[in-house]
Amino acid sequence: MNAYGSEPIKIGVSLSLTGIYSPMGNYQKNGFQLWEKHINEKGGLLNREVKIIIHDDKSNPEIAKAIYAQMILEEKVDFLFGPYSTPITNAILPLAEKYNYPLLISGAAGDSLWEQNFKNAIGVYTPTSKIPYSFLEMLLNHDIRKLAIFYSDDQFSRDLANAFLANVNKYNLKISLVESFKKDSKDLKYLAKKTKESSVEALILAGHFQEAVNMRKALKAIKYYPKVFYAHIGASIDAYRRELGDDANLTFASSLWEVEANFPNSKKFYEDYLKNFKELPQYHSALAYATGQVFEEAVKRVNSLDKEKLREAFFKMDIIIIIGRYSIDKTGKQKRQQVFVTQWQKGTKKIVWPPNFSNSKPIIFK
């Protein structure tokens, strides 16, 4: 029991607080905790305190499966938020389905998550297949047409590479190189050399943080830089700039939230995050916070924690949250959110596309 006079609402989530996904997992942890703080300052939900129970899955799908089973069967949580990454989310989705828990997918975007006929896969943000659109539109607008695509051999990165490949004809682009590499590869100079030898205009790197850093270091090692270097997810977070310093400049990425987009309550989220965690929020932090907002709105609409009622509410809702518009299709896949293209310019991350949201113009390397 607590000051609210009843047991708290328990929401369970495992995150990659250690391991290969730890930068993004910790950003998410902070976002969840800030939403928890804000919702309880407003009186909680259903006159009950909200408590988010966070476990470390060490970036390991098997550990995550054990954690979600524990949260469902032993901790008896009222609700579940999804873990970070497509592989880990894919691993735990069958548990959510088996025990009939709607899962707000707050850290994964692989389209395969919504292609398995699960009724409880609720996407909070843009799926992988739609991430390339804004960036490819920007390339077309700047007459950049000859591309190389390299991708790490994990599920998300393969999905992202395939999403780019699926759209080359639509945007009248030419693919000169396509190649995968092992996720733990530290030396990517051989790929950088292939890029230089083929005279491509844009190098697209599909991977996570370390892959982005390693590719940028490889380009520097061979003293070469293409007109455009894009590295998603890695270059979208501030850790990329901290790791590389001035070498981060000019790198493009896609982002699913930037405070400059000025969605409702986004500025307050930014300021409170900075105050509480003494660091800048990344889009992963905002996605976690937005997941709490979606849950909050659904609970208020149905005035209940009944899982069937909440699931129905998630599918009906069309709302604006700090990351933009939330609305899902019949499979649970997000269909409304805007994707931004960012670029590091003089140590600052700028929105460079689409033009109606941009606060700087893209800089193309000459």
Contact indicator for 168, 194 with CB cutoff of 8 Å: no
Which whole number is the average pLDDT over 60-84? 98
Model confidence over 269-305: pLDDT tens digits?
999 999 999 999 999 999 999 999 999 999 999 999 9
CA-nearest of 123, 87, 139 to 317 is: 123
Q: Compute the 3-state secondary structure of the chain and give helix, strand, coil in percent, each to the nearest 5.
A: 45, 20, 35
Q: Residue 318 phi/psi, 5° resolution?
A: -140, 95
In one-letter notation, the amino acid at residue 176 is S
Rounded to the nearest integer, the mean pLDDT of the chain is 96
When computed from its CA atoms, the radius of gyration of the chain, rounded to whole angstroms, is: 20
Burial 328-349 (b: 16+ CB within 10 A, else e): beebbbbbebbbbbbbbbeeeb
Which whole number is the average pLDDT over 79-95? 97
What's the pLDDT score for residue 70? 98
Contact indicator for 88, 62 with CB cutoff of 8 Å: no
Which whole number is the average pLDDT over 232-260? 95
78 pLDDT exceeds 70? yes
Burial of residue 136 (CB within 10 Å: 0-12, 13-18, 19+) is buried
- The class (CATH top level) of 129-255+340-353 is alpha beta
Which H or E run includes 293? Answer: helix 283-302
Contact indicator for 226, 252 with CB cutoff of 8 Å: no
- Give the distance, in angstroms, between the CA of residue 17 and the centroid of all CA atoms in the same chain: 15
Which whole number is the average pLDDT over 321-344? 96
Q: Tokens for 138? A: 């920007």
Global pTM reads 0.91
Q: Tokens for 152? A: 């790490």
Which whole number is the average pLDDT over 193-219? 96
CA distances from 148 to 71, 197, 231 (A): 43, 11, 12
CA-nearest of 136, 135, 89 to 115 is: 89
Q: What whole-number distance in Å separates Cα of residue 303 and Cα of residue 310?
A: 9
Question: Residue 245: which residues within 8 A CB-CB, separation 6 or more?
Answer: none
Give the confidence band of 108 by pLDDT, cuts at 50, 70, 90: very high
For the chain, which residues make up each domain, given as ranges?
Answer: 9-126+261-326, 129-255+340-353
What's the pLDDT score for residue 2? 52
Around Cβ 166, how many Cβ atoms within 10 Å? Answer: 11
Q: What whole-number distance in Å separates Cα of residue 194 and Cα of residue 179?
A: 10
Q: Tokens for 326? A: 């939330």
Q: Which runs of E-coded beta strand occur in the chain?
A: 9-15, 50-56, 79-81, 103-105, 121-123, 146-152, 174-181, 202-206, 228-232, 252-255, 319-321, 324-326, 340-345, 348-353
Give the confidence band of 199 by pLDDT, cuts at 50, 70, 90: confident
Burial of residue 174 (CB within 10 Å: 0-12, 13-18, 19+) is exposed
Model confidence over 117-164: pLDDT tens digits?
999 999 999 999 999 999 999 999 999 999 999 999 988 899 999 999
Determine the CATH number of domain 9-126+261-326. Answer: 3.40.50.2300
Which whole number is the average pLDDT over 321-342? 96
Sequential DSSP letters for 133-188: HHHHHHHHHTT--EEEEEEESSHHHHHHHHHHHTTTTTTT-EEEEEEEE-TT----
CA distances from 103 to 94, 100, 120, 348, 365 (A): 11, 9, 6, 35, 43
Strand partners, 74: none
